[in-house]
């Protein structure tokens, strides 16, 4: 008890959380199973009620389940999606109590001490929970007791309510597995004839401690309320949004930018307190006719500097039709990334900052994905020696390392008429008659056999740097396995 209030805990167990979530979005008739690849085999991860009634069990291979039940509908499981759904259920459960925690992968635990009377008592609260969850298409089993352990035991092995003060009366018939023990401990206890919580509670504690250690007695005491067990509600993630309501409507771009500046200062203070930076910002302008206009800003790098962000809004704000006036501004950071503090520079923005601001300005017009940069790639194949990546979502690489000179212009191989393994003295390329003045090489490059590439089907290539009397400096190669000469690049 604390402050005269008896502690009461509710355990919510969703035995078919994954399948219920899947059927909410894609209803189906008949048995349904969710499968997950485990130990190089596709196994049953979750079943709906019809599949369970047919005798299927979690852990069966999908092949055995289909052989046993030809009409079984299989879908891929999504544990990450289930975790997000459980987090949403946790937020929903705060309607009953602010102290809500996650219990494993498919359960919630609520401390409802002093809150049950708001729903007409404990029975009324449990009825409201079942009714709302059933309407949402979710199967739930509820347990209520003085402790977290008792509530868990009742939800998983009895679905009942333990009266305040003496939970052993209700828990005694339950199996020892209801104490949240390891499977090996449960098997050993059952072999010793200790099959229920009542049997275990009546057994002397000293022999149990010597045989099983302190963990077994701790679980027993937690279920009976002799040892406290904390319920830690998860903290809500920070929400980065600020709003400004105006006493009189405004319509000039300068006025809207002034309001945006005030909002940016407050928002950046929030971001700074969490060592975060905004990547996507959305400015919502509400007009007096209750219509809204939005200006979205995507940044090349996470930022929380109002002076650098504000000018980027100017083009979007200038294009907004104010109508009869704007009476409210709302600024939200929709995408946030970590941004540790760094040493400020008194001489003004660094070179990298100016480049990022330029990318952000151009990105508001043509899209950040359309501003790209070249990055070096680890490949000796000329056309695979670089990558093209969006500049806003990649970092510039260090200097390019090449053991041999490479042409500045690289194009698809263009055949020329020549014979032999040595560079031709005279040849024609793109309608020009060229004469070789100097040739350096060869540099032999072998294809990457582990990658399929039609351009390298002719096998090895011997590359030459050829300087012509006409001033052209070309990159030629010869294919000895299938004799032929080609031009693939041009030096500056």
> Each residue of 277-316: pLDDT tens digit?
999 999 999 999 989 999 999 998 899 999 999 999 999 9
Starting at the edge strand that comes first in sequence, how are the strands of the sheet with 426-429 ordered?
409-416, 485-490, 473-478, 461-468, 432-445, 426-429
Give residues with Cβ within 8 angstroms of 206, minimum separation 6: none
**Mean pLDDT of all residues belonging to the chain:** 90
Tens-place pLDDT, residues 262-280 = 999 999 999 999 999 999 9
Q: 104 in the Ramachandran plot: left (φ > 0), alpha (ψ -120 to 50) or beta?
A: left
Confidence class for position 382, pLDDT limits 50, 70, 90: confident
Tens-place pLDDT, residues 401-425 = 777 888 989 999 999 999 999 999 9
- Beta-ladder partners of 11: 109, 143
Give the pLDDT score at 5.
58
Tens-place pLDDT, residues 141-196 = 999 999 999 999 999 998 889 988 888 999 999 999 999 999 999 999 999 999 99
Q: CA 187, CA 359: separation in Å to the nearest integer? A: 64
Q: 153 in the Ramachandran plot: left (φ > 0), alpha (ψ -120 to 50) or beta?
A: alpha
- pLDDT above 90: residue 13: yes
Confidence class for position 234, pLDDT limits 50, 70, 90: confident
pTM recorded for the entire structure: 0.63
Q: CA 295, CA 398: separation in Å to the nearest integer? A: 36
Q: CA 205, CA 214: separation in Å to the nearest integer? A: 10
Q: Which of 2-6, 88-92, 373-377 has the lowest mean pLDDT?
A: 2-6
- Per the CB < 8 A criterion, the answer to whether 277 and 337 are in contact is yes
- pLDDT above 60: residue 345: no
- pLDDT above 50: residue 449: yes
């Amino acid at each position: 008890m604390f402050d005269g209030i008896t502690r009461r805990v509710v355990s919510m167990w969703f035995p078919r959380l994954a399948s219920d979530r899947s059927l909410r979005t894609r209803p189906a008739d008949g048995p349904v199973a969710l499968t997950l690849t485990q130990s190089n085999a596709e196994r049953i991860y979750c079943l709906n009620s019809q599949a369970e009634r047919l005798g299927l069990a979690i852990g069966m291979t999908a092949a055995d389940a289909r052989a046993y039940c030809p009409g079984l509908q299989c879908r891929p499981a999504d544990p990450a999606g289930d975790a997000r759904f459980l987090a949403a259920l946790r937020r929903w459960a705060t309607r009953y109590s602010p102290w809500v925690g996650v219990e494993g992968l498919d359960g919630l635990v609520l401390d409802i001490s002093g809150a049950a009377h708001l729903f007409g008592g404990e029975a009324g609260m449990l009825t409201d929970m079942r009714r709302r969850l059933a309407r949402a298409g979710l199967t739930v089993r509820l347990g209520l007791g003085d402790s977290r352990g008792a509530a868990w035991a009742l939800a998983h092995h009895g679905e009942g309510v333990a009266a305040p003060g003496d939970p052993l009366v209700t828990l005694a018939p339950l199996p020892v597995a209801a104490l949240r023990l390891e499977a090996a401990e449960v098997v050993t206890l059952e072999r010793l004839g200790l099959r229920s919580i009542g049997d275990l509670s009546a057994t002397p504690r000293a022999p149990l401690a010597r045989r099983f250690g302190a963990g077994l007695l701790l679980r027993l005491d937690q279920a009976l309320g002799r040892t406290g067990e904390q319920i830690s509600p998860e903290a809500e993630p920070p929400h980065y949004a600020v709003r400004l309501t105006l006493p009189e409507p405004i319509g000039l771009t300068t006025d809207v930018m002034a309001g945006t500046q005030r909002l940016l200062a407050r928002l950046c203070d929030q971001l700074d307190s969490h060592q975060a930076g905004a990547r996507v910002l959305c400015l919502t302008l509400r007009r007096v006719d209750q219509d809204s206009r939005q200006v979205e800003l995507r940044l090349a790098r996470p930022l929380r500097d109002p002076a650098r962000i504000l000018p980027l809004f100017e083009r979007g704000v200038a294009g907004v039709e104010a109508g009869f006036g704007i009476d409210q501004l709302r600024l939200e950071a929709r995408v946030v990334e970590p941004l540790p503090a760094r040493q400020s520079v008194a001489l003004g923005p660094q070179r990298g900052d100016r480049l990022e601001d330029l990318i952000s300005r151009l990105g508001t017009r043509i899209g950040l994905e359309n501003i790209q940069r070249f990055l070096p790639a680890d490949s000796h194949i000329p056309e695979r020696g670089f990558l093209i990546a969006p500049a806003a979502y990649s970092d510039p690489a260090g200097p390019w390392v090449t053991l041999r000179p490479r042409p500045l212009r690289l194009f698809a191989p263009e055949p020329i008429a020549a014979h032999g393994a040595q560079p031709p003295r005279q040849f024609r390329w793109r309608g020009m008659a060229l004469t070789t003045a100097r040739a350096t090489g060869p540099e032999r490059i072998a294809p990457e056999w582990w990658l399929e590439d039609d351009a390298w089907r002719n096998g090895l290539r011997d590359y030459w740097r050829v300087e012509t009397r006409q001033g052209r400096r070309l990159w030629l190669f010869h294919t000895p396995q299938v004799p032929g000469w080609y031009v693939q690049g041009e030096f500056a």
